[in-house]
C-alpha cells in the first residue's frame, strides 16, 4: 500500500483504530472519478469482456441478473455517442464507454435464473415454486419496485466494473449527464429496459485528481 493511501485509510478509520492493508480495500479507497483519459489508448474486446464478466458477479435480488451492457469502443460508435452524452470529452476519449442498462424485475424469470443453481446442487428443485411465489409477492403489480430493482442491479454491476477497472490500473467515470431518450433509441432498449448511466473506462493521462476527501464516517454512521 502506498504511503498516501495508507494515510487516507488510517485517517478514515481513526475512530476504530484500524489501518487498511488489504489490496482490495486499497483499490476501493484510491479510486476517483477520472476526467482525463488517454485518447489513443485502446482496450481489447477480451479486456472489455473481462470487465463485464466481473461486473456480472455483483449481487442482484433473486439472482435476476437484470442488467445489460453496451460497450461503445469503435471510433464510429463514439461519434454517435457524442451528442447523446452531451458532447462530453470523457465519452469519446475513454477507451470504452458502457451504456449501463437495468431491466425491470420480472418474477416469472425465477425458474430460469435459479435453474443452474438447482442443476449444480445448490438448491433443491422443490424450493423453486416457493422462490417464485416470494418474488411475485414483491414485484408483481408493483411497477415502482420493479423499476427500483432495475436501478439497483445496474448500479451494483457498474460499481463492480469501476473497482475492477481500478485494480487493472484504469480510470473510470460514471455519468448521469446524457439524453436517456436518445440512448434508448440508439441502443435499441426494450420496453422493460432503463438506461441507468454511462460508464467510461480506460487508461488515464496526467492531471486527474486523487481520491476526494470524504465526510467523517461517524457523520454518516449511527449505531442502534
**Model confidence pLDDT, tens digit, residues 97-136:** 999 999 999 999 999 999 999 999 999 999 999 999 999 9
- Each residue's pLDDT tens digit, 169-178: 999 999 999 9
Distance CA 163, CA 29 (A): 10
Q: What pTM was estimated for this model as a whole?
A: 0.90
Going by pLDDT thresholds of 50, 70 and 90, the confidence category of residue 5 is very low
> Where do the domains of the chain lie, and which CATH numbers do they carry?
1-30 (no CATH), 33-107+143-206 (3.40.109.10)
Q: Give the chain's mean pLDDT.
A: 93
Going by pLDDT thresholds of 50, 70 and 90, the confidence category of residue 17 is very low
Q: DSSP letters along the chain, please?
A: --HHHHHHHHHHTTTTT-----HHHHHHHH--B---B-TT----HHHHHHHHHHHTTS--GGG---EEEEEE-SHHHHHHHHHHTTT-HHHHHSSEEEEEEEE---GGGHHHHHHHHHHTTSS-GGGHHHHHHHHHHHHTT-HHHHHHHHHHHHHHHHHHHHHHHHHTT-EEEEE--S-HHHHHHHTT--TTEEEEEEEEEE-B-TT---PPP---HHHH----
Q: DSSP letters along 57-107, please?
A: TS--GGG---EEEEEE-SHHHHHHHHHHTTT-HHHHHSSEEEEEEEE---G
Amino acid at each position: 500500500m502506498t504511503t498516501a493511501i495508507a494515510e487516507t485509510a488510517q485517517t478514515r478509520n481513526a475512530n476504530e483504530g484500524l489501518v487498511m492493508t488489504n489490496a482490495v480495500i486499497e483499490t476501493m479507497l484510491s479510486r476517483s472519478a477520472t476526467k482525463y483519459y488517454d485518447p489513443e489508448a485502446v482496450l481489447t474486446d477480451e479486456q472489455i469482456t473481462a470487465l463485464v464478466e466481473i461486473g456480472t458477479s455483483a449481487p442482484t435480488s433473486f439472482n435476476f441478473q437484470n442488467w445489460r451492457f453496451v460497450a461503445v469502443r469503435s471510433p464510429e460508435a463514439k461519434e454517435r455517442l457524442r451528442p447523446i452524452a452531451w458532447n462530453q470529452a470523457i465519452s469519446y476519449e475513454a477507451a470504452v464507454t458502457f451504456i449501463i442498462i437495468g431491466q425491470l424485475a420480472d418474477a416469472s424469470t425465477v425458474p430460469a435464473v435459479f435453474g443452474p443453481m438447482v442443476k449444480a446442487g445448490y438448491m433443491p428443485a422443490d424450493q423453486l415454486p416457493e422462490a417464485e411465489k416470494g418474488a411475485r409477492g414483491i414485484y408483481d403489480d408493483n411497477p415502482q419496485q420493479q423499476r427500483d430493482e432495475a436501478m439497483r442491479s445496474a448500479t451494483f454491476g457498474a460499481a463492480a466494473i469501476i473497482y475492477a477497472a481500478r485494480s487493472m490500473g484504469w480510470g473510470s467515470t460514471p455519468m448521469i449527464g446524457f439524453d436517456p431518450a436518445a440512448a434508448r433509441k440508439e441502443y435499441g432498449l426494450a420496453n422493460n429496459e432503463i438506461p441507468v448511466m454511462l460508464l467510461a473506462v480506460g487508461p488515464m493521462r496526467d492531471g486527474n485528481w486523487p481520491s476526494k476527501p470524504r465526510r467523517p464516517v461517524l457523520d454518516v454512521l449511527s449505531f442502534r
